[in-house]
Structure 1
Amino acid sequence: MPTYNKLVRDKIPQVIEATGKKYKSEILNDQDYIKYLKEKSYEELDEYCAAQSNENAVEELADLLEIIHALAIYHGSSIEEVEKVREEKAEKRGGFLEKIFLVEVED
């Protein structure tokens, strides 16, 4: 039986059951949950970086966004609050749409 030892989406056990396979899972405590949620964010970011098409890139971005939703909730917030903070920062400092690459700043 392959060993995964990773955080998976909530409905993955039902998907596995539907194939007739047996599995072992456990519910994480908060300390392990945030640890594996952070690990999962790196995994999904790596998959986004490796995406070979716009379609695949968008799918990986959706996975990252799902993780951001979970992280916001874990930290006692919501995706709406995260979006509000993002908007405030964009208003003050801008976004990343103008493709500006800072080379150096004189002392």
Structure 2
Amino acid sequence: MKVEYNKLVRDKIPEIIRESGRTCEFKILGQSEIKDALKEKLIEKAEVFSKRPSEDEISDIYELLDTIVEVYDFEPLHIDYLKLQNKESKGSYSEKVFLISVDDGQ
């Protein structure tokens, strides 16, 4: 039975499928296609994590973020700098602050 996936997968998945005795169809995405596929995969992984938080899912998200940084040609050190800058100016999430509302007085 053929199952359609139409989603970005890790590089070795086609090899793993073939080694299991099954066949698969895949393609290598171009530069314009990969950006959309990465965004879709990030949303997919965030949804999976929201339902089943695990270290394995977080490791997938980390790997995905590394690939996004590479594909978008972002500078990892600059991202670290921005992270630190945002932490200093806005704080982190460690104090578990949950904003309920803001009244602008009008």
Give 2:68's aligned residue.
71
Structure with larger RCO (C-alpha < 8 A, sep 6+): 2
Trace 1:24-63 onto structure 2 (pairs within 5 A): 24-51=25-52, 56-63=53-60
Structure 1 residue runs of 4 or more that deviate by more than 6 Å after TM superposition: none
The Cα of 1:86 is off from its aligned counterpart by 1.1
Within 2, Cα distance between the matches of 1:104 and 1:4?
A: 41
- Contact persistence 1:68–1:79 (CA under 8 A): no
- Report the identity percentage: 29
Shift of 1:78: 4.2
Structure 2: gaps spanning 5 or more residues: none
Give the TM-score, by structure 2 length.
0.86
Report Cα offsets for 1:5-62 as digits up to 9, x if no partner. 11000111111121121111101111211111111111100110001xxxx5221111
Unaligned runs of 5+ in 1: none
* Alignment match, 2:93: 96
Q: For this pair of structures, how many residues does the alignment match? A: 103
Root-mean-square deviation (CA, aligned residues, Å) is 1.6
1:81 corresponds to 2:78: yes
Equivalent AA in structure 2 for residue 96 of structure 1: Y
Residue in structure 1 matched with residue 102 of structure 2 by the alignment:
105
